[in-house]
């Protein structure tokens, strides 16, 4: 009886988009793995697509479980879940397996398990619980600092694992802080730091300093009558200058060698097309060769002949780009875009602040994955290994994203049962 009600209350549009992305991903995983010499079917367990069916099936079980549990359960357990995941993150640092330079995997028998994937939803829940507490004002400094700490703590732990890509995902929760009243300067400063970092790599330092001085002069001109703002601009500029100078230090001491190379290859992928620039170059070639309408399903030569690396996981978008062309790529982007806008819409209609904040957290994390993943395949961002949500091959990531999304859908389904708080 209650289940029947849930079927009517749950947001089928989001579920539809979810299913479309998962199935689309599954078909493309097969295409990326496909070898014309060995005629192996899409269901074969020797193919990634065959194993992905297992992950898809178990995801349905997870969804069922999430839907069956009481919606209040997530609010109640958020801190506990967060604590457990933090514990796992520390444990993986001590006992984990090192894979490709990152110590972020547990090996449980035949299966590998990546706790950082599940820390994402736990952190989003904890942040939502903290910020939604009745007695907090999200624009006061103390709340903000604690908010930052909630996602800053796992971020640091994941950096320690050596997985910068996933760590940056936690940073995306800054978007939630912004929605909940954080001063926009912090968001702008955050984006500014990333932009300045990339500019430092791309542009000659002297030119950059001249540009900085020019921008500073313009800003001072704009706020000429306000000595306090002038002081702020000057301080900001000095900080920016200091940042530019310290980028060298960041490059050599903060980033790992393979990450340094990936950052450098963004600047000039042709400098060493067979070495560090290989991934980006081949990825762009595969996507670029797709043309307007693509080469057709299973007809992509670049992916079929293994020119694109990691083509079922981080570079799955290449398969779409090559085989479905611009039209297919555009439809995929539109689908993601639709999902994100729908999530914003759903979040905004929540009566519960907790659900709203969590909704934004879900959207931020998914959006960050999407933006960085696509940007790196088309050469707009350094290659950092994060998957395309729902699309890329992989159990941990599919489970993680599914849990993240469906907890929100469960909360959304029960939005009318929540008394207006605050």
Partner 1 sequence: MSSRSIIIQAIILMTALVFSIRLFSIQVVNDDYKLAAQNNIVQKIVEYPYRGLVTDRNDNLIVYNTPVYDLMIVPKEVNLEDSAHICGLLEIDHESFITKYSKARKYSSILASKFIEQIPNEEFARIQDQLVDFPGFYVLPRTVRAYPENTLANALGYVREISRYQLNRDTSNYYKPGDYIGIKGIELQYEEILRGKRGLNYKLVDVQGVVKGSFNDGEYDTAAIPGQSIKLTVDSQLQQYAETLMEGKVGSIVALDPATGEILAYVSAPSYNPNLLSGRGLSTNYGTLQEDSLKPLFNRPIQAMYPPGSMFKTVQALIAMQEKVVGPYEKLMCDYSPMGDHAPLGLYDVDRAITLSSNTFLYKIFRRVILQEEDDNMYIDSRIGLEKWNNYIYEFGLGNALGVDLPGEKSGNIPTVRYYDRVYGANRWKFSNIYSLSIGQGEVQVTPLQMANLGALLANKGHYYTPHIVKEINGVTIAGAERKKVSIDTAYFEPVLQGMSNVVKGGTGFRARISDIEVCGKTSTVENPHGEDHSGFMAFAPRENPQISVAVYVENAGQGARAAAATAGLLIEKYIKGEITRPWMEAYVLRGDFSDPKPQKVVKKDTVSKDSTNSNEGQSTSL
Say which residue the tokens 């780009």 belong to.
321
- Out of 336, 381, 393, 401, name the contact with partner 1 by CB under 8 A: 336
Q: Give the residue with the Cβ less far from partner 1, 301 or 417.
A: 301
Q: What strands, in cross-sheet order, belong to the sheet with 102-108?
A: 97-99, 102-108, 111-113
Residue 5: HSE in the Cβ half-sphere, 13 Å Cα cutoff? 9
Quote the least distance from Cβ 353 to partner 1, whole Å: 12
Q: Are 177 and 384 in contact (CB under 8 A)?
A: no
- Out of 86, 164, 174, 287, name the contact with partner 1 by CB under 8 A: 287
Six-digit token string for 134: 């009745």
Q: Is 312 in the site for partner 1 (CB under 8 A)?
A: no
Q: Is 193 in the site for partner 1 (CB under 8 A)?
A: no
Compute the distance between CA of residue 366 and CA of residue 407 in angstroms, rounded to an integer.
Answer: 14
Phi/psi for 276 (5° steps) reads -70, -25
Which of these, 114, 111, 93, lies nearest to 103 by C-alpha position? 93
Which of these, 332, 315, 304, lies nearest to 32 by C-alpha position? 304
- Out of 40, 77, 220, 371, name the contact with partner 1 by CB under 8 A: 371
Compute the distance between CA of residue 365 and CA of residue 124 in angstroms, rounded to an integer.
Answer: 9
Q: Is 292 in the site for partner 1 (CB under 8 A)?
A: yes
Binding-residue total with partner 1 (CB under 8 A) = 45
- Out of 179, 262, 410, 414, name the contact with partner 1 by CB under 8 A: 179
Quote the least distance from Cβ 61 to partner 1, whole Å: 31
Strand partners, 102: 99
Q: Give the residue with the Cβ less far from partner 1, 231 or 337.
A: 337
Q: Which of residues 25-54 bind partner 1 (CB under 8 A)?
A: 36-37
Q: Is 380 in the site for partner 1 (CB under 8 A)?
A: yes
Torsion of CA 29, 33, 37, 39, to 10 degrees: -40
- Out of 44, 201, 288, 297, name the contact with partner 1 by CB under 8 A: 288
Q: Is 341 in the site for partner 1 (CB under 8 A)?
A: yes
Binding site for partner 1 (CB under 8 A): 36-37, 175, 178-179, 181, 274, 282, 284-292, 301-302, 304-307, 321, 325-326, 329-330, 333-334, 336-337, 340-341, 344, 347-348, 360, 363, 367, 371, 374-375, 378, 380
């Amino acid at each position: 009886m209650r289940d029947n009600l849930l079927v009517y209350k749950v947001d089928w549009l989001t579920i539809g988009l979810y299913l479309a992305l998962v199935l689309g991903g599954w078909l493309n995983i097969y295409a990326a793995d496909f070898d014309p010499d060995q005629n192996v079917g899409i269901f074969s367990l020797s193919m990634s697509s065959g194993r992905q069916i297992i992950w898809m099936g178990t995801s349905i079980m997870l969804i069922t479980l999430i839907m069956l549990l009481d919606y209040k359960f997530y609010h109640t357990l958020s801190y506990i879940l967060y604590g457990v995941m933090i514990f796992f993150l520390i444990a993986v640092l001590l006992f984990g397996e090192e894979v490709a330079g990152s110590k972020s995997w547990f090996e449980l028998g035949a299966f590998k398990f990546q706790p950082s994937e599940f820390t994402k939803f736990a952190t989003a829940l904890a942040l939502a619980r903290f910020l939604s507490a009745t007695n907090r004002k999200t624009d006061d400094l103390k709340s903000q600092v604690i908010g930052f700490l909630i996602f800053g703590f796992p971020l640091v732990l994941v950096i320690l694992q050596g997985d910068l890509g996933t760590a940056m995902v936690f940073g995306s929760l800054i978007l939630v802080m912004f929605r909940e009243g954080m001063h926009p300067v912090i968001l702008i400063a955050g984006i500014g730091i990333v932009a300045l970092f990339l500019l430092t790599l791309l542009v000659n330092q002297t030119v950059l300093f001249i540009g900085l001085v020019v921008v500073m002069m313009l800003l001072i001109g704009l706020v000429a009558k306000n000595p306090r703002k002038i002081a702020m601009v000057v301080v900001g500029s000095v900080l920016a200058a200091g940042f530019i100078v310290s980028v060298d230090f960041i490059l050599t001491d903060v980033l790992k060698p393979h990450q340094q190379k990936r950052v450098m290859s963004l600047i000039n992928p042709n400098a060493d097309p067979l070495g560090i620039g290989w991934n980006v170059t081949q990825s762009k070639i595969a996507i670029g060769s797709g043309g307007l309408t693509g080469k057709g399903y299973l007809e992509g030569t670049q992916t079929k002949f293994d020119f694109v690396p990691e083509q079922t996981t981080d570079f799955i978008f290449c398969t779409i780009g090559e085989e479905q062309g611009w039209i297919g790529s555009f439809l995929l982007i539109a689908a993601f875009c639709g999902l994100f806008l729908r999530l914003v819409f759903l979040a905004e209609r929540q009566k519960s602040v907790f659900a709203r904040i969590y909704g934004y957290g879900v959207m931020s994390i998914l959006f960050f994955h999407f933006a960085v993943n696509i940007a790196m395949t088309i050469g707009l961002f350094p290659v950092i290994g994060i998957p395309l949500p729902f699309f890329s091959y992989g159990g941990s990531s599919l489970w993680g994203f599914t849990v993240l999304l469906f907890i929100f859908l469960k909360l959304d389904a029960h939005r009318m049962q929540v008394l207006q708080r605050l």
